[in-house]
Amino acid sequence: MQMQATLEAVSSTISGTNVMVAALATMFTLLALGLFAKRKSIDCMDLFTDRGGKLSRTAVGQVMGVIIAAWAPVYTTLHGKLEVEVLMVSLAYLGLVEGYAKWLRYKADTGPGNGDPAPKKDAS
């Protein structure tokens, strides 16, 4: 009887949620290893700096928001309380952050004026 209860306890802890967390951790690890193999180094400062290498408050805010927006559905799923609204707000925020980042890149690449791209400088 004791063995049966132990087996049931072990099987209940190995649930779909634990498998999901293990799969996400494995994918993150493989992604990090792939980036390390390609670049031979991992430089996370790219997440917090602008193109000139200066610390960007916008980038720091985006990274913190993405971490929170990615963790909120995972946390609520692990506790069995995932609501549609949490997932909806999280996905909407992640999409808006990506759109805002692309808009900032576009504004940095365009010249002053009516939004036309800045003229390219000749190499000569």
Q: What is the pLDDT of residues 79-112, one digit of tens each?
A: 888 888 888 888 888 888 888 888 877 887 776 6
Report the alpha-carbon distance of residue 6 to residue 4 in Å, rounded. 5
Whats the size of the chain, residue-wise?
124
Question: Is the model more confident about 30 or about 47?
Answer: 30
Would the pLDDT of 124 be above 70? no
pLDDT confidence of residue 82: 80
Per-residue pLDDT of 2-16, as tens digits, reads 555 555 555 555 555
Backbone angles phi, psi at 62, to 5 degrees: -65, -45
Report the alpha-carbon distance of residue 104 to residue 96 in Å, rounded. 12
pLDDT confidence of residue 42: 64
Contact between residue 47 and residue 63 where contact means Cβ atoms under 8 Å apart: yes
